[in-house]
Chain A
Amino acid sequence: MIEIKNLEKYFTIKAKFSDRKIVHAVRRASLTIPDGGAVSLIGESGCGKTTIGRMLCGMETPSEGTIIINGQDISKLRRGARARLLQKIQLIHQDPYQALNPTHTIQQMMSATLKKMARQKKKGAEWISQRTNELLKLVGLDPSTILFKYPHMLSGGQKQRVIIARALTVEPEMLVADEVVSMIDVSLRLGILKLLRSLREKFNISILFITHDIASARYLGSNTELYVVYKGMIIEKGLTEQVIRQPHHPYTQALLSAMPILKGIEKPGKDRFVLTSQFRQSEEEQVGCLFADRCPFSQPICSEKRPELISQGNSTDAYACFFPEIRDVAAVSVDH
């Protein structure tokens, strides 16, 4: 079980020649991922969803807030213990073309990490090759044809599978999948999504799925939660299917409206609207709702006070909006 509480992250960046600017990348983000559960983070580029993922993997240090993995606060652990704990969380990158060493064969790559595992488990070379085959088969690759290949000989989808197999060598409890399907051909995306789903179901590996494509978040299996992130703040959360069908926050609705309609198979929801204004990283800190300047339904109070993420009746749903209203924006299937 992984708990993130009130996470904050500030980045200091160079604005002009000698000026420094502080970017508030993540704002009081809290989320819980149960064992074998799945959480998707949805948002535009630059909204801070990747930063949340990186902090969870230990690649960034949170400015404030706590990350608790299996009951242990990682900031309070010693270095060695923390490294061992973070080994349980593996990151899968967006770009499969850059995540593999071009001078190593798949076999070299897999055995490099497996050797270390073998030492811990006091197993021999035989175990390593057996495990390599087992993992490659698990991700849907044929070990005999793929082991001696170099990364450039593989297609994008195959590379992504190799990367997942490599992440599995250390027997993780959680995968952070950062835009894993966005660089892969549309026809092959579903294969990767199904793989992630089966890892959840078979091995109880939990998944943090970071994406800007809401549709792919639906394919991670049952009981997945969707968190919508805007400018570093979680503005709506709930069960995936429920958020898609009954979105409360105008930003969630804008994202859902932006999904292209498959003419002939789908028809648009009746309240669909297109947001034309651009995402801006504002210079001054906004006081009011972060989305107020782009929101088509904003009222004067929205730019004066910021709404908090408030849970509704049952525990899973929450949204940060003063004027929540369910709008029917997601496309629905046409019946034949």
Chain B
Amino acid sequence: MLKIQNPQIKLLEKLTNAVALPGDEGAIRKIIRAEVGDIADELKIDAMGNLLITKHGKGKNRLKVMLAAHMDEVGFMLVDDEKDGIYSFETLGGIDTRQLVGKPVWVGKEKVEGVIGAAPIHLLDAEARNGKASLKSLKIDVGVGKPKVKVGDRATFATKFLRMGNSIRAKALDDRLGVAILIELLKNAPENIDLLAAFTVQEELGLRGAKIAAHAFNPDLALAVDSTPAYDMPMHDGSENIHYNTKLGEGPAIYTLDGRTLSDPRIIRWLSETGDEKKIPYQYRQPGGGGTDAGSIHLSRAGIPTGSVSVPGRYAHTAMGLCRIKDWENTLNLLHEALCRVSPKILEKNR
């Protein structure tokens, strides 16, 4: 079994501290290329910036298996210069604006420090105090005299990686965990398959990069590797929480149904059997909404058998998420073991 140890944790630190927003994922692309550029059999950056890496296996009847992890994270774009270092902004990806007030941010490639402030509570009337701050009322403040900031620059939460015992606190665990896992799988690539690793762009804008990546790879089988929310907190009234999505510490989350994909039952079975036989804990993500790159991939060309596996993480799409190192490791191993045993047999029976 593979292990998550210091080098892997250091790499995740680098990945989560980097800034890569939809439309400009260069910082992550750079880190990945430094990690696996040498061992890749083929490496391509496409029209939108997807990083497509192929690692060939050996022997006959190799399945072409695509794994996708998205490089982008949610954040902001400056849209209007209101002078004196104050900028209005729009969100990139789904963010609850109630998460924004009072957060430090990094702006642009140079990570210029800034803040999202708000009017002092003392100056607000009673209604505004308890109301939801509208996006229009919120501004990014980078201080005066900063020539390196301009309209069109992208920004994100200024959150530094922190290890908290068995857990990790960081921004953008969605989906730098997936990126880290794909890097590790490339480094330990099973020889029975051709591994097609797609580090995708613009997932947070609607699975856009994965669409063209899947068309280019045209795989036999695909898995999206992502991080999915764990809402495993108590209910306000002490009743049973029946909408937890996933639970921290219970292992990788295998998808059955989300808003964009009905996972291929053959893939659900394959992953579950792998977990059972190798004694790797796993859970089923609660069927419901949301979506991963699988939503684009499975509809590519004449159809691609596709599923998704996610590392559970709390507080996704906010300034700081939280995950367990053990869940990360179990996700890596579930995927690695599953890939090591996969053969064309899996697709013999019709879906």
- Do A and B pair up? The answer is no
User: Interface on B for A, CB 8 Å cutoff?
Assistant: none
